[in-house]
Amino acid sequence: MSSQEGKAIVNEFKTQIFILGGFVTLFWVVEIVDLLFYSGGLDQYGILPRNIIGLRGILWSPFLHGNLPHLIANTAPFLMLGWLVMLQETSDFFWVTAITMLVAGSGVWLFGSPAFHIGASSLIFGYLGFLLFRGLFERNFSSIFLSLVVGFFYGGLIWGVLPGQPGISWEGHLFGLIGGVLAARFLAKRKHSTSHGNR
């Protein structure tokens, strides 16, 4: 590896840290402001199923959390899975995030229980779905290997898509996972068409 290549890798890693750190900082700032100044009132900007005003939550809900333990529980898996999404291409993170937000938000709005749905867990499950299925769709060694590794270490999270613990938006988990799978399919097709177009 040349020094120029090494420098490019370091710069890419710094960019990834900046992006993930920016998201997590935003999560924490929003939650602290919500607790200190609004007593949790910002949670009303989450997704409220089948209510027109609840559509705004498709954009805002991933940045809102019910309390600090909720936010703490989401921070580590968001950082780890988010970074793994970036591992091959940093731009994948933005595609997967956008597709997951749209699919998860729309699914929760259409089919969710009548309560405000908030939290970054829909994104976490989107990243999980993407990482688990990208190997199937891209069919290259690195993607398949990464899917297997993620399945081994994080596969147990999949049970979170089932109804269970009260107060947990399993619908957000389920539709987030679906969004991640769709993102994996979309990006695999996009990369395939790009590679063929460059020949």
For residue 112, is it left (φ>0), alpha (ψ between -120 and 50) or beta? beta
pLDDT grade for 17, boundaries at 50, 70 and 90: very high
Query: What pTM value is reported for the model?
Result: 0.95
pLDDT digits (tens, 9 = 90+) for 153-180: 999 999 999 997 788 999 999 999 999 9
pLDDT digits (tens, 9 = 90+) for 96-148: 999 999 999 999 999 999 999 999 999 999 999 999 999 999 999 999 999 99
CA–CA gap between residue 78 and residue 67 (Å, rounded) = 16
| Residue 199: per-residue pLDDT | 52
Domains of the chain by start residue, with CATH: 3-197 (1.20.1540.10)
pLDDT grade for 197, boundaries at 50, 70 and 90: low
Q: Which has the closest alpha carbon to 108: 60, 176, 162, 158? A: 176
